[in-house]
Amino acid sequence: MSDNALAEKIGELGQSLASIKEQVGNLGSDFTEKLKATGEVSAELKGKVDRALSDLGETVTRVRELEKAADREKEAAEHDPRDIGDIVVASEKFKATDVSGGWRGSIRVGMERADITSANTTVGAGRSAGTSLVPGARVPGIITPPNRQFTIRDLIAPGRTSSSSVEYVKETGFTNSAAPVAEGAQKPKSDLTFNLFTTPVRTVAHIFKASRQIMDDAPALASYINARGTYGLKFVEENQLLNGDGTGQNLHGILPQATAFAPAFTPAEETAIDRLRLAVLQVILAEYPASGFVLHPTDWAKIELTKDLGGNYIVGNAMSPMGPTLWGLPVAQTQAMTAGEFLTGAFNLGAQVFDRMDVEVLLSSENVDDFEKNMFTIRIEERLALAVYRPEAFVTGDVNPAP
């Protein structure tokens, strides 16, 4: 059947289909009214409805079959299956040539055929132009950038609060006049002074924007945003606990409050390992037991690779299953620490982190014009406070001795 005949037939069936749909609609209204009025429907009306629905189904099927036939004709026209001989014989130039007595010459056929390569093959109708016939292997999920391992919070004493700030009373002075006293003699008077300190609860937060469609079509994206958003909070939290300067909405971190490295003595041929031991001594002399070190990973690698004159590692042991330790204390490695600097101290006694609100993930479509644009706003936030009780319990300085 030619393209024109198919088009005419589809047009006729389309008109018939419209008429049948109208008939079904009218019968449906009669059916509903009869059923509502009397609670039953006559067999004659039921028969008419059944016949109309049957005609509707048959007509829809015939229209679809004709549409498929038209698609096949169109595809056949676009991708001519004839070989070159058929094309030559069918050409107007060949038909106008008398070949009864033999003929030699050339005929240019107006048809180009591209080479079949992986670059120009397509899957077919319904796919965008240039789609490869051989689709790529899709790796499931989303490839996530590497996540930093967080270590600072694990060193600090944990706590919780239900207020917007944390208050604590700290002893600021102690005059100790205790002494041996003779019988009946007046006892010496000592003195204590205190001060009230307050550390505010700070909020760490950010938002994401996502369309309703992408959240519906890719449900795994919601959990991915949740995980990445939470990681983003913890990334900032670690830096705040360590380096926050206390201005604006920043936490007042440990490093800005730590005591500067002031060794009790200077050993001969001082090394980085010596300096860290002297820093521990400084903490001990301040009457605190040091509980760990914080170093940049590069500085710790240099220390582990330090060798003696015989080429043997002093600290590092490639076969040891133990975690990084130095002078009996754990070493926390983090890139939040500036390379070339160290921090040591009584982390579990000198500071405490208070959680006011754990990480919370909220989703809303009523932010600004989100409802109109079919968008979602995803808010991820936490609230916490940091109290550095004893700055003298922490010591910081340069890892390597001055040249």
Q: Give the pLDDT mean for 133-161.
A: 85
Q: Provide the 8-state DSSP code for 383.
A: E
pLDDT given for residue 320 in this prediction:
74
pLDDT given for residue 99 in this prediction:
54
Q: Give the pLDDT mean for 47-58.
A: 71
Q: What pairing do the DSSP bridges indicate for beta strands 157-160 and 351-364? A: parallel
pLDDT tens, position by position, 293-310 = 999 999 999 999 999 888
pLDDT given for residue 152 in this prediction:
92
pLDDT given for residue 220 in this prediction:
79
Domain range annotation of the chain? 3-78, 152-177+189-398
User: Which residues, at least 6 apart from 146, have a Cβ–Cβ distance to it below 8 Å?
Assistant: none
In this structure, what token pair is assigned to residue 205?
Answer: 């937060």
How far is residue 159's CA from residue 157's CA, in Å, rounded to a whole number?
Answer: 7
Superfamily of domain 152-177+189-398: Major capsid protein gp5 (3.30.2400.10)
Residue 129 and residue 156 in contact, taking contact as beta carbons nearer than 8 Å? no
Give the 3-state secondary structure of residue 3.
helix
Choose between 73 and 308: higher pLDDT. 308
How far is residue 230's CA from residue 293's CA, in Å, rounded to a whole number?
Answer: 26
**Helices 272-285, 297-304: inter-axial angle, 10-degree rounding:** 110
pLDDT tens, position by position, 215-256 = 887 777 888 888 899 999 999 999 999 999 999 999 999 999
Count of C-beta atoms within a 10 Å radius of residue 238: 21
Does pLDDT of 138 surpass 50? yes
Under the banding of pLDDT at 50, 70 and 90, the label for residue 125 is: very low
In this structure, what token pair is assigned to residue 41?
Answer: 């429907």
Helix (H) or strand (E) holding 388: strand 375-388
Choose between 319 and 153: higher pLDDT. 153
Under the banding of pLDDT at 50, 70 and 90, the label for residue 33 is: confident
Does pLDDT of 380 surpass 50? yes
Does pLDDT of 402 surpass 90? no
Does pLDDT of 169 surpass 50? yes
Choose between 227 and 43: higher pLDDT. 227
Least confident window among 78-92, 152-166, 300-314: 78-92
How far is residue 195's CA from residue 169's CA, in Å, rounded to a whole number?
Answer: 6
Residue listed under structure tokens 């991915």: 224
- Using alpha carbons, select from 343, 353, 341 the residue that is nearest to residue 388: 353
pLDDT tens, position by position, 251-270 = 999 999 999 999 999 999 89
Least confident window among 35-39, 113-117, 124-128, 339-343: 124-128
pLDDT tens, position by position, 311-351 = 888 887 777 777 899 999 999 999 999 999 999 999 999 99
Chain centroid to CA 125: 35
In angstroms, the Cα distances linking 227 to 147, 158, 205, 361, 380 are 11, 23, 14, 10, 10
Q: Give the pLDDT mean for 62-80.
A: 66
pLDDT given for residue 200 in this prediction:
96
Count of C-beta atoms within a 10 Å radius of residue 38: 9
Does pLDDT of 273 surpass 60? yes
